Amino acid sequence: MSCPPKLNSALATLAAAGIRPGNYAPPLHRLLWRAGAILPPPHLASFGLNFAFSATWFSVGWGTLMWLTVWSRETMSGLMAFGAALFAGVLFGLSMAAYYRYGARKHDLPAWSQIGPEQ
């Protein structure tokens, strides 16, 4: 995959820290990188960015799946389904943001803003 130099440097830093590739470059991030999005690896992103990213995609994905498979058949209102998906997304987002923040501190990783094109 052809990546910007800063992203290549960040991925090399994460690999050198001993973190597994599937953990520092999750599938959704790799897909977005291939599409041209400049999104920092989750270990190097801020708590807020990790929270917003994880909460958003989980709320939309899980809420849609639950609506199509369960909630629409149970006559659950759209507002209640939206609230349940939002609540689940917030919990998931907080969990993932805390997990990646813990990993960054454990491995003493720099912030995304401190990564240069060639480290």
Q: State pLDDT tens for residues 14-63.
A: 999 999 999 999 999 999 999 999 899 999 999 999 999 999 999 999 99
Domain-embedded: residue 77? yes
The separation between CA 18 and the C-alpha centre of its own chain, rounded to angstroms, equals 19
Q: Which domain holds residue 68?
A: 5-114
pLDDT score at 118: 63
Q: Decide: 111 and 93 in contact? Cβ < 8 Å.
A: no
d(CA 11, CA 118) in angstroms, rounded, equals 11
Residue percentage of the chain with pLDDT more than 90: 82
Tokens of 85: 């998906």
Q: How does residue 112 score in pLDDT terms, banded at 50, 70 and 90?
A: very high
Domain-embedded: residue 119? no
Q: Decide: 45 and 112 in contact? Cβ < 8 Å.
A: yes
Domain-embedded: residue 37? yes
Is residue 67 predicted with pLDDT exceeding 90?
yes
Q: Decide: 85 and 56 in contact? Cβ < 8 Å.
A: no
Domain-embedded: residue 98? yes
Average pLDDT over residues 69-75: 89
Q: How does residue 2 score in pLDDT terms, banded at 50, 70 and 90?
A: low
d(CA 29, CA 77) in angstroms, rounded, equals 33
- Tell me how many domains the chain contains: 1
DSSP assigned state of 110: P
Q: Is the dihedral of CA 32, 34, 40, 41 positive or negative?
A: positive
Higher per-residue pLDDT: 93 or 78: 93
